[in-house]
Amino acid sequence: MNPKKDEKKITPRSQDFAAWYNELVLRAELADYAPVRGCIVFRPDGYAIWEALQGELDRRIKRTGARNAYFPLFIPQSFLSKEAQHVAGFAPEVAVVTHGGGKELDEPLIVRPTSETIINHMFAQWIRSHRDLPLMVNQWCNVVRWEMRTRIFLRTAEFLWQEGHTAHASREEAEQEALTMLEVYRAFCEEILALPLVTGRKSAAERFPGALETYTVEALMPDGRALQCGTSHHLGQNFARAFEIRFLDANNQLQYPWQTSWGVSTRLLGALIMAHGDDQGLRLPPAVAPRQAVIVPIWRNPQEGEAVRQAARQLLGELERAGVRTHLDEREGVTPGFKFNDWEMRGVPARIEIGPRDLKERRATVARRDRPAAGARFALALEETAAKMPGLLAEVQQSLFAQAREAMRRNTFEPKDYAELSRRMAGEGAGLASLFWCGAESCETKVRDETRATCRAVPLGQDEPGGRCLVCGEPARERAYFAKAY
């Protein structure tokens, strides 16, 4: 370790957002570049955040009735061609295996870009009667999409995700399932990741290949670009027809089931980093922080050291019993200042310092990562520190959400005409535009081609908007959110 080198500041976020993001990911040791272009390595600190997030989301998914399963990585190439829109959507980015065991394969295999095809192939064999429905499975796995332009966590050739796949007896049930998962994702992102969102359905142009309807949760990043955080698709009967999934209904008639699929990926790590990070490093919401609190003992001589460390170890035990994921930093040979910077970089929500004077006064000095350095430190009675920490972490969680929501509010606007939309999208920090839209694809295409903003979400349950389309001037069908997107 070279403290001098490591103490170098990262590029300020306001100066170059992309450079700030990349440097932060590397310096906080979340991920690294892999030898294969477009692939990344999840380092233990990055993977631990994914595991925390995964554990909480997995519980929420299971509560809806879905169960976990695992399907193979390799899919016969012919499966992809069975659903016409699906193949058109995915073929360009599919990786194909042509050789195995030193021989050319009779049929090439694709490396799954998503698993609709293989899962529906199996569903066709498992679903016979209405009593087999609903069938709801989820899998946590990796998928591969041959991306030419990659960015750590946000767009990589291989990424981790969960994909849920369900089959239902009626259209209404499938629609309800797609909306249930939209709500699961919204609540999860807001409550656990402290990410404020807009939700709604996708326009036809942005829909998942082969879906009747795609629902989405979208966050706005501090650089004014939107990030799709999760999607839930109502697939109708398209895949059931393509894979010949049929069931006997209560009247003994053969029917095609109605289906959904839904997923979130390791992109969420990118969203977390961008939404909450600052020039000192990461700021992790306590709900997903691998270390929620870190104790830094401070001493000048061995005698002090022994007493301080003993108190620190006792506090560690108390915090662990209080359910706080705590780390005690007993590293030798680095200064307390170095340790403070290091834990700030890694985004630990609460830092607890114990020095000789603290010990004499039976207190701990606490610093909250959600607050700017000045005024962030305060004292707690040593005996009460462990008991107060869960409440304090809940406050940090709320505070990060409130700050992100305020940033989103500042970056959301209602353009009064097309010129204002163009001007804002051309500038720095483009933001999220809420605008009246006729719903025509031609207007959407014009906005995309001229401003690079795309339709991110059309909020559900809108009343008659009453306005006129910002692009063509015809009566508007609805309000929609447009933004430049990751």
Q: Coil, strand, or helix at residue 463? A: coil
To Zn ion, the closest distance from the beta carbon of 476 in angstroms equals 8
* N-to-C CA span, the chain: 35
Residue in the block written with tokens 């695992």:
70
To Zn ion, the closest distance from the beta carbon of 453 in angstroms equals 14
To Zn ion, the closest distance from the beta carbon of 473 in angstroms equals 7
Query: Based on CB atoms, which residue is closest to Zn ion, 356 or 439?
Result: 439
In the shown chain, the binding pattern of residues 336 to 355 toward Zn ion, with x for contact by CB under 5 A and - for none, equals --------------------
Give CA–CA dist 281/61, Å, rounded.
31
Q: Pick the stretch among 26-34, 132-140, 367-375, 436-444 that binds Zn ion (CB under 5 A).
A: 436-444
Give CA–CA dist 426/484, Å, rounded.
10
Query: Based on CB atoms, which residue is closest to Zn ion, 288 or 471?
Result: 471
- Of 472, 477, 479, 486, which lies in the binding site for Zn ion, with binding defined by CB under 5 A? 472
To Zn ion, the closest distance from the beta carbon of 478 in angstroms equals 11
How many residues contact Zn ion, by CB under 5 A?
A: 6
| Amino acid at site 340 | F
Would you count residue 469 as binding Zn ion (CB under 5 A)? yes
To Zn ion, the closest distance from the beta carbon of 444 in angstroms equals 8
Query: Based on CB atoms, which residue is closest to Zn ion, 191 or 474?
Result: 474
Would you count residue 457 as binding Zn ion (CB under 5 A)? no
To Zn ion, the closest distance from the beta carbon of 432 in angstroms equals 19
CA 451 to chain CA centroid, Å, is 26
To Zn ion, the closest distance from the beta carbon of 177 in angstroms equals 32
Would you count residue 476 as binding Zn ion (CB under 5 A)? no
Give CA–CA dist 124/82, Å, rounded.
14
Query: Based on CB atoms, which residue is closest to Zn ion, 200 or 209?
Result: 200
Would you count residue 443 as binding Zn ion (CB under 5 A)? yes
Eight-class DSSP state of 288: G
Residue 277 burial (CB < 10 Å; 0-12/13-18/19+)?
A: buried
Would you count residue 167 as binding Zn ion (CB under 5 A)? no
Would you count residue 446 as binding Zn ion (CB under 5 A)? no
CA 243 to chain CA centroid, Å, is 31
To Zn ion, the closest distance from the beta carbon of 442 in angstroms equals 7
Would you count residue 287 as binding Zn ion (CB under 5 A)? no
Residues with Cβ < 8 Å from 350, sequence gap 6 or more? 286, 292, 293, 294, 366, 367, 368, 369, 389, 392, 393, 396
Nearest to 279 by CA among 4, 5, 23: 23
Query: Based on CB atoms, which residue is closest to Zn ion, 133 or 425?
Result: 425
Within 13 Å, how many C-alpha atoms sit on residue 255's CB side?
20
Query: Based on CB atoms, which residue is closest to Zn ion, 221 or 438?
Result: 438
Q: For the residues of 196-226, what is the DSSP string, one character each?
A: --EEEEPPGGGS-TT-SEEEEEEEE-TTS-E
To Zn ion, the closest distance from the beta carbon of 30 in angstroms equals 42
Q: For residue 122, give both structure tokens.
A: 């199996």
Q: For the residues of 137-184, what is the DSSP string, one character each?
A: EEEEEEEE---SS-BTTTB-SEEEEEEEEEEESSHHHHHHHHHHHHHH
Query: Based on CB atoms, which residue is closest to Zn ion, 111 or 480?
Result: 480
**In degrees rounded to 5, what are phi and psi of residue 337?**
-60, -40
Query: Based on CB atoms, which residue is closest to Zn ion, 439 or 459?
Result: 439
To Zn ion, the closest distance from the beta carbon of 437 in angstroms equals 6
Would you count residue 421 as binding Zn ion (CB under 5 A)? no
- Of 438, 447, 453, 455, which lies in the binding site for Zn ion, with binding defined by CB under 5 A? 438
CB-CB contact of 161 with 139 (8 Å): no
- Of 312, 471, 480, 483, which lies in the binding site for Zn ion, with binding defined by CB under 5 A? 471
Give CA–CA dist 370/391, Å, rounded.
14
Query: Based on CB atoms, which residue is closest to Zn ion, 178 or 469?
Result: 469
Eight-class DSSP state of 196: -
| Amino acid at site 344 | E
DSSP bridge partners of 160: 142
Q: Pick the stretch among 178-186, 363-371, 433-441, 458-466 that binds Zn ion (CB under 5 A).
A: 433-441
Residue ranges in contact with Zn ion by CB under 5 A? 438, 440, 443, 469, 471-472
